[in-house]
Structure 1
Amino acid sequence: MNTKKLIASVLFIGFCLVSQAQTTKKNEQDNLAKEYFSQIMGVAVNATTNTKLYQFVYDWLGTPYRLGGDSKRGIDCSKFSLAVYENVFNTTIGFNSRNQYANVTPINKKDLQPGDLVFFKIRSKSITHVGVYLGDDKFAHASSSKGVMVSNLNEAYWKRYYYNGGRPKSEENRTMVADASMLNTDK
């Protein structure tokens, strides 16, 4: 009886040690990933809270821009933000930048958090561009000239055309539009 208890205790302690080692290893990997993405994207380490978000963006960096595109062969800004939300946050936000804006709660620029959306009105009275906020005033987007990239909201160009930030509404408060005339309207 005592031998069984001793074996069970040893096995339990061993299991706890292995579990602790795996947790420590995962934390070390997460910290390395955060440091790596911080350097690559120019975002402060303390702002890199969602490693899955940064990994997804990193995997798409350099993908060429293609209006209406939705693959690594080419993608536009709204399809990129949609892909981020579907793959990182497991939710759908709409198919173009104006529809996406209709499905967010507006957020002040100073209150943006990684994963929030940032919207722009570029030479238009309507929203024409969208990106995904990463932290530290950086956002990922599909630029029509350079493809998927990371930019700074404080650059003169983006400051000039910045419209608003937004955080997706809960599922029950969404107003998804399936009107085909609204598709592929991003510049």
Structure 2
Amino acid sequence: MNTKKLVAGMLLIGLCLVSQAQTSKKSTDSDPDNLAKEYFSQIMGVASTAMANTKLYQFVYEWLGTPYRLGGDTKRGIDCSKFSLAVYENVFNTTIGYNSRNQYANVTPIRKNDLQPGDLVFFKIRSRQITHVGIYLGDDKFAHASSSRGVMVSNLTEAYWRRYYYKGGRPEESKTMTANIDTEDDGENLN
């Protein structure tokens, strides 16, 4: 995506939200946390009422557009498992493992219908093993590092993601502290 268009779009949305906050008489609209939720709701396509953890959405927002780089872990380039690891370390102060299969080993599997913002979503893309991971945001949206488009928000109901979706998972406190440190590459090959 063109950086200038992205910045212009963000400014436009920000100005609209500021304008809305200034003209609204509701006391909740003047709450900075609610304004942030509205802003991130517009950017990520998740209902503001589903946004329980503003820190999660702010972290994801700051990484949107970061290019994909296998093994990368900086804003110069990052892969899916390092992105989910960064989210958990920075937002939840928890370590979850260094690749998607290792991360799956450190979660309690949960049904798709029971996903909550911050849960991990796992995919088996053209493989019998887990090859991709993302962070569930709510309203069927998840953030991830796509090999073709970098850090982005996608929808679990899209045909591609529906086809390869494996399971959701919620990190277990006891397992995250003793995570098996396996730095083997995920071997991701996604859209």
Give the TM-score band, short-chain normalised.
0.7 to 0.9
Q: Using the TM superposition, give the Cα deviation of residue 45 of structure 1 relative to its aligned residue in structure 2, in angstroms.
A: 1.0
Question: In 2 relative to 1, CA 172–95 (structure 1 residues): closer, same or farther, beyond 3 Å?
Answer: closer
The 8 Å contact of residues 88 and 94 in structure 2, kept in 1 or not, is answered as yes
Residue 4 (structure 1) aligns with: none
Aligned-residue RMSD, C-alpha:
1.8
Question: In 2 relative to 1, CA 36–122 (structure 1 residues): closer, same or farther, beyond 3 Å?
Answer: same
Superposition map of 1:43-82 within 5 A: 43-82=46-85
The 8 Å contact of residues 43 and 135 in structure 1, kept in 2 or not, is answered as yes
Superposition map of 1:1-187 within 5 A: 28-171=31-174, 176-180=179-183, 183-187=184-188
Tell me how far apart the structure 2 counterparts of residues 83 and 152 of structure 1 sit (CA, whole Å). 21
The 8 Å contact of residues 145 and 152 in structure 2, kept in 1 or not, is answered as yes
Q: Which amino acid aligns with 1:185?
A: D
Q: Using the TM superposition, give the Cα deviation of residue 173 of structure 1 relative to its aligned residue in structure 2, in angstroms.
A: 7.0
SS of alignment partner, residue 176 of structure 1:
coil
Aligned pair count? 162
Instruction: Give runs of ≥4 in structure 1 deviating > 4 Å.
Output: 172-175
TM-score for both structures, normalised by structure 2? 0.81
TM-score for both structures, normalised by structure 1? 0.82
Deviates more, 1:53-62 or 1:171-180: 171-180
The 8 Å contact of residues 101 and 166 in structure 1, kept in 2 or not, is answered as yes
Q: Using the TM superposition, give the Cα deviation of residue 30 of structure 1 relative to its aligned residue in structure 2, in angstroms.
A: 0.1
Residue 10 (structure 1) aligns with: none
Ranges in structure 2 where 5+ consecutive residues have no aligned partner: 1-26
Q: Which amino acid aligns with 2:66?
A: T
Question: In 2 relative to 1, CA 186–168 (structure 1 residues): closer, same or farther, beyond 3 Å?
Answer: farther
Q: Using the TM superposition, give the Cα deviation of residue 186 of structure 1 relative to its aligned residue in structure 2, in angstroms.
A: 3.8
Q: Which amino acid aligns with 1:130?
A: V
Q: Which amino acid aligns with 2:119?
A: D
The 8 Å contact of residues 76 and 186 in structure 1, kept in 2 or not, is answered as no
Once the two structures are aligned, what percentage of the paired residues are identical? 78
Q: Using the TM superposition, give the Cα deviation of residue 177 of structure 1 relative to its aligned residue in structure 2, in angstroms.
A: 1.8
The 8 Å contact of residues 77 and 142 in structure 1, kept in 2 or not, is answered as yes
Q: Using the TM superposition, give the Cα deviation of residue 52 of structure 1 relative to its aligned residue in structure 2, in angstroms.
A: 0.1
Question: In 2 relative to 1, CA 36–126 (structure 1 residues): closer, same or farther, beyond 3 Å?
Answer: same
Q: Using the TM superposition, give the Cα deviation of residue 178 of structure 1 relative to its aligned residue in structure 2, in angstroms.
A: 2.4
Tell me how far apart the structure 2 counterparts of residues 152 and 167 of structure 1 sit (CA, whole Å). 19
Ranges in structure 1 where 5+ consecutive residues have no aligned partner: 1-23
